[in-house]
């Protein structure tokens, strides 16, 4: 089998897998607070980078994360693209 066909199949499988992921699970964990919803200060990040064990992750929110407003979730990029395309199509075919 030629290399181009293998590359095409691999890219197609990756795209279909990511599309399915965005369909069934449109939200991913927030990258800034790692899905906890808590604000992580620069001091906590520095301690984690130095290898000092950070405090255990608590479910209660001390101060909400500014990026996800305390939800701990973010919309995946693929789902964001889908929503934008859907809105453009709906606006154009009205
Ligand atoms: Zn967050």
* Tens-digit pLDDT profile for residues 70-80: 899 999 999 99
Copy the structure tokens of residue 9.
Answer: 């199949």
Instruction: Look at residues 59, 15, 12, 3 and name the one whose alpha carbon lies nearest to residue 35.
Output: 59
Please give the distance, rounded to the nearest whole angstrom, from the Cα atom of residue 94 to the centre of ligand 1. 36
For 83, other C-beta atoms within 10 Å of its C-beta total 13
Please give the distance, rounded to the nearest whole angstrom, from the Cα atom of residue 64 to the centre of ligand 1. 8
Predicted TM-score (pTM) of this structure: 0.68
For 66, other C-beta atoms within 10 Å of its C-beta total 10
* pLDDT, average across residues 53-67: 72
Query: Distance (Å, rounded) from C-alpha 42 to C-alpha 81?
Result: 31
CA dihedral 51, 56, 59, 63 (to 10 degrees): -60
Q: What is the pLDDT of residues 21-56, one digit of tens each?
A: 999 999 999 999 888 888 888 887 788 788 766 555
Please give the distance, rounded to the nearest whole angstrom, from the Cα atom of residue 68 to the centre of ligand 1. 4
């Amino acid at each position: 089998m030629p290399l181009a066909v293998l590359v095409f199949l691999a890219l197609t499988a990756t795209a279909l897998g990511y599309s399915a992921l965005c369909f069934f699970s449109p939200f991913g964990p927030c990258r800034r607070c790692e899905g906890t919803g808590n604000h992580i200060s620069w001091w906590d990040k520095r301690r984690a980078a130095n290898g000092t064990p950070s405090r255990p992750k608590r479910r209660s929110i001390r101060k909400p994360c500014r990026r996800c407003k305390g939800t701990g979730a973010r919309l995946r990029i693929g789902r964001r693209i889908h929503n934008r395309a859907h809105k453009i199509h709906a606006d154009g075919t009205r």
